[in-house]
Structure 1
Amino acid sequence: MSVRTYNPSVRVGNWNEDIQLEEDTLKDFLQKRESGELLYQKRTKLEQTIFKKIDLSISRDGLVHFGDKVNIRCPAALDRTQYFAHKDPRNECNLAVVPQINKILYSNKFEGPCSVTGCREVAANLRSTFVIKSPDGIPDGEPLRYGQVFYLCTMDDEGGNLYLHSDRVSLHKSPNKSRHQEVSLVCEPSFLTEWKILHIKPKLRMEYEGIPVPANCKIIFHHVKTGQNLSVEEEFCIRTSFGTREYEISSHTYLDSHRADMEQNHWQIVMGVPGDEVYPVTFPSSGTASTTTGTS
């Protein structure tokens, strides 16, 4: 009499190991979900921290002041395709922080040292918003002037307190691609974190010394210690930990044949102005005595 060696209820192969692997996978998933380590949870947390929208300070007199929340923007370069067929024009970009993702997910703030890049996303968020501070104890609200030393810092309340830093090129410290002077963010202020604003035209710099800096106008960011200017390396793009391609930032003075700074060194201190969508202008109602539509 023959005996059936196989029927649908028989389990073959490493069935016990497969069951254990499925259970371990499920347990690992539940543990990561409870601790917030899943990829979609990390993405959501990043959007709620460093990509959170920030309202810039309003420049009601058209000037930049100490304590203002600003964006540091490099305008778009001119279209040079008629001269260089292989070269695309550079987009406008904001100076932005590139933190270590693991650190910011646990601390919810920037921890130095951090690198900086030229982010093509020009919307104001935590990683692209900076605060202008005085090293001499000048109170907030005082206008920043040409040639006046200042610190460019990340935001205190939400993003930590890091200072824009630069130092001379060394064998072990330089940007990976351009090999120019490195720019980064550090925890402690020093003479290497001191910057000042210069007029965009070299012939007018002495005349504008001590005059308040206007907002949303082209200026030059000058590093006091090394004498180099903040620049965008439009020839070199780097891939960040967020998966985006952004311009490399360095301190290097690009001069043309007339000894004037080139487009890579042109920056704007971007601020809000009255009437922006963030701060809409409100008018008094027609029924009050303060309306401007009435006649005397």
Structure 2
Amino acid sequence: MLLQRLVLEPVRYPAGRPVDSTIPEYGLLFQKFSLRIERHFDAGCHIGSHQFLCLFCLVFFVPKMIQPESQKDREERDMMFSIRPAFNAPCKLGNWNEDLFLQEEKTAFAAYKRDRGQLLLQKTKKMFRNLSRPLQLSHSLVMLKYGENYQIVAPDIPCETCRAKVRPVYLAGLVTEREIDTRQEFSHGSVVVGCVDGTPCVRNTFKFVGCDRDKTGEPLTFSEDFYLQIVGGSEEALYVRCENSMAQMGYHPTPTLSKFADAYCRFKMLHFDPGLRLEREGAITRANDKVIIQNVPTGKNLAVENHLVTTFFGNEYVISCHTFRDTHKMETAENVWKVVGEDLQDINAVVRAAKGEDVPPELLK
């Protein structure tokens, strides 16, 4: 009953201003409201401050909150929402226009390089195609000949991770990551490394070239100077060169490929046994025999170091010009090489195997 009378007899207060008891108008409003409440309570009745504040809010604010929205209020609200600036999730902030133009420029530049084959991925694929092109090795294994294609392999390099504890390492050329941007084939200054892939291809196939004259087809002999030329690596002839200079890889001078056939490109073969080197001078060299390849100007041997470097073809060995000796003054496995070609299949062994005879597997390769 009290609430109905309080609501039915509202106190007038200035419109559009917040209800604040500290303002004189609303202070008078609070006084009138408190007097109205006192008239409806007995003399001994008491009301708390919190209860008084709740009654005040209930009388003056709740009726306005529950009043239905008029048509005019809806129109004003729609008008306000139609003209207000909208900021939502797709809105772009910062230097978005500059970033967009920069990204478009990068895309156009990448398309320009792609159309002309200048992307790093395209250059790398081209390098792999050039250096992995297969080649045919020589069938002349009774004697080594000038001008024939051979592979030079160190057969007994120690390997802790291999089951046999040794592995063959093949002499090969390399295009490094610093050169791939400007050239995709061998050129003057390319380094020589040792690869474990024995598939005959451009990067690991060499031929012997005479130093003083053209000796194509002639047999190669011990202690005879020759040039070691890589086959099909570029349009110009490139020779293995070693000099006393700073090491590019490892701790000893690193052989490189040179287009100039100078004195530092001269090598010669020595017999594996030091006791037979003198009497074997001038003798014909054969394939698959252990030999020492020595650089003539420096007097150091071509060697495989027990040090791996990461290349485009995986982890490969460092090749240097250094003589490794044991306590008996003999060259160790790092200096021992073999010149290998392509073995012809033994037809007689194939016929014997077809008849059911026991034939060694190495004869059927």
TM-score by length of 1: 0.79
Q: Deviations over 1:200-241 (max 9, x none)?
A: 11111122211111112221101112211111111x22223x
| Residue 342 of structure 2 corresponds to residue 266 of structure 1 | no
Decide whether aligned partners of structure 1 residues 124 and 159 sit closer, same or farther in structure 2, where only a CA change above 3 A counts: farther
| Residue 112 of structure 2 corresponds to residue 36 of structure 1 | no
Name 1:226's counterpart in structure 2: 298
Alignment-mate amino acid for residue 40 of structure 1: L
CA distance in 2, matches of 1:94, 1:37: 31
Name 1:66's counterpart in structure 2: 146
CA-based RMSD of the aligned residues comes to: 2.8
Bigger CA drift: 104-113 or 17-26? 104-113
C-alpha displacement of 1:52: 1.7
Q: Secondary structure at the match of 1:41?
A: helix
Q: Name which of 286, 295, 308 aligns with 1:237.
A: 308
Q: Secondary structure at the match of 2:326?
A: coil
Structure 1 residues 126-137: aligned runs within 5 Å: 126-137=202-213
Aligned residues: 264
Q: Name which of 275, 293, 311 aligns with 1:203.
A: 275
C-alpha displacement of 1:50: 1.2
Q: Secondary structure at the match of 1:48?
A: helix
Paired-residue identity, %: 31
Structure 1 residues 13-32: aligned runs within 5 Å: 13=93, 14-32=95-113
Structure 1's unaligned 5+ residue stretches are 82-87, 282-296
Q: Secondary structure at the match of 2:123?
A: helix
Name 2:266's counterpart in structure 1: 194
Name 2:27's counterpart in structure 1: none
CA distance in 2, matches of 1:12, 1:175: 52
C-alpha displacement of 1:11: 4.0
Q: Secondary structure at the match of 2:113?
A: helix
Structure 1 residues 145-184: aligned runs within 5 Å: 145-155=221-231, 158=234, 160-168=236-244, 170=245, 173-178=246-251, 180-184=252-256
C-alpha displacement of 1:90: 5.2
Q: Secondary structure at the match of 1:76?
A: strand
Q: Name which of 12, 22, 25 aligns with 2:92.
A: 12
Decide whether aligned partners of structure 1 residues 156 and 46 sit closer, same or farther in structure 2, where only a CA change above 3 A counts: closer
The higher relative CO (CA closer than 8 Å, separation ≥ 6) is in 1
CA distance in 2, matches of 1:20, 1:9: 21
Bigger CA drift: 143-152 or 97-106? 97-106
TM-score by length of 2: 0.65
CA distance in 2, matches of 1:114, 1:38: 21
Structure 2's unaligned 5+ residue stretches are 1-75, 351-365
Q: Secondary structure at the match of 2:215?
A: coil
C-alpha displacement of 1:177: 2.7
CA distance in 2, matches of 1:214, 1:30: 54
